[in-house]
Amino acid sequence: DQQVKQNSPSLSVQEGRISILNCDYTNSMFDYFLWYKKYPAEGPTFLISISSIKDKNEDGRFTVFLNKSAKHLSLHIVPSQPGDSAVYFCAAKSGTSYGKLTFGQGTILTVHP
């Protein structure tokens, strides 16, 4: 039972353009969502998060949007840079699950110069 899904295994964009990574979830108990970035041979690093009481959170070039009714979140990267090329995971947790993160399968982002 995949409670968090990233349906696009890969995404390719041109440098300077917008990258949009999508994530869907099924568990209504999830109330906090995170995006992680992972480079090869490194662990995932935290990028940005959003609480279910918000619908948008911005941090520099990164913005996360949450649509609770659709159980959908997206990560926008503007402008995209070659250094953004990595695997992006969305993750979710509920208030009752303490630190347990439920991850999606990941999306490989490639930003071409």
Q: Looking at beta carbons only, is 63 or 104 nearer to other proteins?
A: 104
- Count helices and strands in the chain by DSSP H and E runs: 0, 11
What residues make contact with other proteins under the rule CB under 8 A? 4, 6, 36, 41-46, 89, 91, 97-106
The nearest distance, CB 100 to other proteins, in angstroms, is 5
The nearest distance, CB 113 to other proteins, in angstroms, is 27
Q: Looking at beta carbons only, is 9 or 16 nearer to other proteins?
A: 9
Q: Looking at beta carbons only, is 36 or 66 nearer to other proteins?
A: 36
Distances 20 to 13, 37, 41, 97 between C-alpha atoms, Å: 9, 14, 24, 28
The nearest distance, CB 6 to other proteins, in angstroms, is 8
Q: Looking at beta carbons only, is 85 or 102 nearer to other proteins?
A: 102
The nearest distance, CB 21 to other proteins, in angstroms, is 13
Q: What's the distance, Cα to Cα, between the start and end of the chain in Å?
A: 38
Rounded CA-CA distance 47/55 in Å is 17
Q: Is 70 exposed, middle or buried (0-12, 13-18, 19+ CB in 10 A)?
A: exposed
